[in-house]
Amino acid sequence: MKHATSLVAARSTYGGVALYTAMLLTLGAAAIHFAVAPSHLREYLPFGAFFVIVGCAQVVCAVQLAARPTRRLALLMAAGSAALVGLWVVSRSVGLPFGPTPGQPEEVGLADAICVILEMLSIVLLLVLAVRHPRRRVRRPWLPVVGALPSALLTLGLTATAVAAALTPMPEAVSAAPPTPGSPAVSLADLTEPPGTEPVDRFTLVTQESQIDGQRLWTYNGTVPGPELRVQQGDRVQVTLVNQLPVATTIHWHGLRLPNAEDGVAGLTQDAVQPGQSYTYEFVARDAGTYWYHSHQQTEDQLPRGLFGALIVEPAQATEDVDASVVLYGQPGHVRIDRTRIDAQPGQSVRLRVIDAVEPGMDGGPETPILLGTPFRVAALDGHDLHEPQPLEATRVPLGMGQRADLVFTMPATNRVTLQVAELQGQTSPVQDVFARFAAAAPPSQSVTIGDGAAPQQPDLASTPVFDETTYGTPASQLAGPFDVTAPVVLDKQPGIREGRPQVIHMINGQPAPDVPPLQVTEGQSVQLHIVNDTDEYHPMHIHGHVFTLLTRDERPVTGSPIHLDSVLVGPHETYDVGFIADNPGVWMIHCHVLLHAGMGMMMTMNYAGVYTPFEMGTRSGNLPE
């Protein structure tokens, strides 16, 4: 028979559905190959050319298959697709022996994963076509077209997703503040601590992989959190980071006002420190208070693995008998505390420096520690003293990630004092407001005991009051308007595809990082930020190298003590005004401290006029600060 090897007859039956679907799958794979070609052409020409050729071949074969299907063509296409899938498996497992990074496995991305799925499905269908018995009569030729519709829609959806992912890759190279030719400028790399005669405190922090309680963690000097660094106000601090991790890293000094070059942000103020390398940070600890340090390279990954610790700057004159830091960390529902006991005698005064390093879920909600057994004062927030704080009893103190509160109290005569972290239930449900969270509070499972004696009375957690910083303490002179610069910081989110993957894109002023227009300031200006949260999430907004004064919340002015913060917890649909003086030249991060949100784009910079960065972020340098 003339058409012995032809599949034409099969088009009218189920084989027709298989035929059209195989064609569509092949066209989808071709589209994805075209979409990834440009970035490959830039990176390594032969690979780029290869993807163009493969894409063209797939288009020709797919058209030919639909027009003149033969067994031989089906087998040929199946073999070709199988070869592509094989190549992909090798490149993603052991790495190809040639190319820009020979012998190194590439990461699996969304676009290539979808492409491989389309190709594998097409292989199955092509093999079915090749072995299927040819039919003689063509009946109802529209039937296979209709039959192929569902798979066509699916293929189209997958292809569109993969193409979108391929066309929005991780940025290759971005400068947050490129030098402007012709205008005089200083490199931020020169904005270091000038030499001085201060007493020097030296530390070495070795980042390493450590085994703790059966978990593989990344640590500073083998512990999580890293060692508490305690220095005296006015001291010169020298910290040498020795990187023994398999990846590059940095250290950021959260909350400290220090020279820009010492800020530790990969791709902004330095290149990430490579494995085996070391790097020394040097700054004078100007402000007393409770601070912390953490990695600012791939922060979303590195911080939760264990790269964080407390940094305490003691005032020249100690004000309390007992002074201890407490680091909250882990995830909501599994919050851990770095100590369970603090020694104190009845009558002694105690300063408890609570640091929230807990990485929240998508809702970004705060931790709400509570001190029981004695009245206490919130003596400082983010390391900065409050004016005439009055005593509180059994009150929850909300802390967004990155924030700190110093709780000061006198040890009672007969009972011990406990700091409790209430675990919250229903972590995955989007929580609308802080009070709803409290109502959902489960019994506390984490606590720190201070001193000895009877256990304090346990209040009903659902009805304990919540600390409100805007009405606490008494007023004193503070920064006030008019301001030289007023800038909106509008926080919003929207689902989409960014950096090669689908995500809930988190935006500032309508753009995600690195496309958020920077806040431009000139040294000496007074600046007001009008922060508007258009989401149902919490955003602890953090500014580097500066301390801002809280002016209003939801348009109502702060009536209590002046509040000075480096991170302001902006609740769902809340509005805040904060003010500060631009007195520390450089290029500084402003971002949400919920690592998930920052990783999805909620990050921008404040750029001083006349300062540029010689560093760049992106896949080329490997500096990925979020």
Q: Residues in the site for ligand C2O, rule: CB under 6 A?
A: 252, 254, 294, 296, 402, 542, 544, 589, 591, 593
What CA–CA distance (Å, rounded) separates 233 from 218?
Answer: 29
Q: How far is the CB of 402 from ligand C2O (least distance, A)?
A: 5
Q: How far is the CB of 16 from Cu ion (least distance, A)?
A: 52
Q: How far is the CB of 592 from Cu ion (least distance, A)?
A: 3
Binding span for Cu ion by CB under 5 A among 203-211, 385-393, 478-486, 535-543: 535-543
Residues 6+ apart with CB under 8 A from 384: 287, 289, 547, 563, 564, 565
Q: How far is the CB of 542 from ligand C2O (least distance, A)?
A: 5
Torsion angle of the four alpha carbons 112, 117, 120, 125, in this order, in degrees rounded to the nearest 10: -130
What CA–CA distance (Å, rounded) separates 191 from 202?
Answer: 21
Are the CB atoms for 494 and 584 separated by under 8 Å? no
Name the residue nearer to Cu ion (CB basis): 273 or 596. 596
Site for Cu ion in 329-388 (CB under 5 A): 364
Among positions 592, 600, 606, 611, the unique one binding Cu ion when judged by CB under 5 A: 592
Name the residue nearer to ligand C2O (CB basis): 33 or 252. 252
Name the residue nearer to Cu ion (CB basis): 260 or 299. 299
* Chosen from ligand C2O, Cu ion, none, partner binding at 353 (C-beta under 5 to 8 Å by type): none
Between strands 252-254 and 289-294, the pairing is antiparallel
Binding span for Cu ion by CB under 5 A among 198-206, 212-220, 331-339, 589-597: 589-597
For residue 282, the tally of other CB atoms under 10 A from its CB is 18
Q: How far is the CB of 615 from ligand C2O (least distance, A)?
A: 15
Q: How far is the CB of 465 from ligand C2O (least distance, A)?
A: 28
Q: How far is the CB of 540 from Cu ion (least distance, A)?
A: 7
Tell me which amino acid residue 273 is: V
Name the residue nearer to ligand C2O (CB basis): 397 or 401. 401
Q: How far is the CB of 83 from Cu ion (least distance, A)?
A: 45
Distances (CA, A) of 422 to 368, 408, 434, 536, 577: 7, 20, 13, 22, 30
Q: Which two tokens stand for residue 475?
A: 């007023």
* Chosen from ligand C2O, Cu ion, none, partner binding at 539 (C-beta under 5 to 8 Å by type): Cu ion
Q: Which residue is nearest to ligand C2O (CB)?
A: 254
* Chosen from Cu ion, ligand C2O, none, partner binding at 236 (C-beta under 5 to 8 Å by type): none
CA nearest neighbour of 600 among 487, 490, 508 = 508
Among positions 84, 241, 594, 606, the unique one binding Cu ion when judged by CB under 5 A: 594
Q: Which two tokens stand for residue 319?
A: 């004000």
Name the residue nearer to ligand C2O (CB basis): 546 or 593. 593
Q: How far is the CB of 606 from ligand C2O (least distance, A)?
A: 12
Q: 């699996």: which residue's tokens?
A: 108
Which ranges of 238-363 does DSSP label H, i.e. alpha helix? 299-302
Tell me which amino acid residue 350 is: V
* Chosen from ligand C2O, Cu ion, none, partner binding at 592 (C-beta under 5 to 8 Å by type): Cu ion
Compute CA 94 distance to the chain's CA centroid, rounded to the nearest angstrom. Answer: 29
Strand-by-strand arrangement of the 278-284 sheet: 215-220, 200-212, 236-243, 278-284
Are the CB atoms for 482 and 576 separated by under 8 Å? no
What CA–CA distance (Å, rounded) separates 461 from 444?
Answer: 9
Q: How far is the CB of 406 from ligand C2O (least distance, A)?
A: 18
158 binds Cu ion (CB under 5 A): no
* Chosen from Cu ion, ligand C2O, none, partner binding at 593 (C-beta under 5 to 8 Å by type): ligand C2O
What CA–CA distance (Å, rounded) separates 588 from 567?
Answer: 14
- CA dihedral (588, 594, 596, 600) positive or negative: negative
Name the residue nearer to ligand C2O (CB basis): 402 or 444. 402
Q: How far is the CB of 539 from ligand C2O (least distance, A)?
A: 13
CA angle 41, 44, 49 (to 5 degrees): 50
Are the CB atoms for 290 and 228 separated by under 8 Å? no
Name the residue nearer to Cu ion (CB basis): 374 or 427. 427
Q: Which two tokens stand for residue 442?
A: 């489960």
Q: How far is the CB of 305 from Cu ion (least distance, A)?
A: 20
Q: Which two tokens stand for residue 333?
A: 């529902």
Rg (CA), the chain: 30
* Chosen from ligand C2O, Cu ion, none, partner binding at 594 (C-beta under 5 to 8 Å by type): Cu ion
What CA–CA distance (Å, rounded) separates 56 from 33?
Answer: 9
* Site map 538..577 versus Cu ion, x via CB under 5 A: -x--------------------------------------
Name the residue nearer to ligand C2O (CB basis): 11 or 294. 294
Binding span for Cu ion by CB under 5 A among 340-348, 534-542, 544-552, 561-569: 534-542
Tell me which amino acid residue 148 is: A
Q: Which two tokens stand for residue 561?
A: 């003590």
Are the CB atoms for 623 and 272 separated by under 8 Å? yes
Are the CB atoms for 208 and 218 separated by under 8 Å? yes
Name the residue nearer to ligand C2O (CB basis): 309 or 444. 309
Hey, is 299 helix, strand or coil? helix
* Chosen from ligand C2O, Cu ion, none, partner binding at 544 (C-beta under 5 to 8 Å by type): ligand C2O
Hey, is 232 helix, strand or coil? strand
Name the residue nearer to Cu ion (CB basis): 130 or 489. 489
Name the residue nearer to Cu ion (CB basis): 404 or 539. 539
What CA–CA distance (Å, rounded) separates 578 from 529?
Answer: 5
Q: How far is the CB of 362 from Cu ion (least distance, A)?
A: 9
Name the residue nearer to ligand C2O (CB basis): 236 or 294. 294
* Chosen from Cu ion, ligand C2O, none, partner binding at 252 (C-beta under 5 to 8 Å by type): ligand C2O
Binding site for Cu ion (CB under 5 A): 364, 539, 592, 594, 597
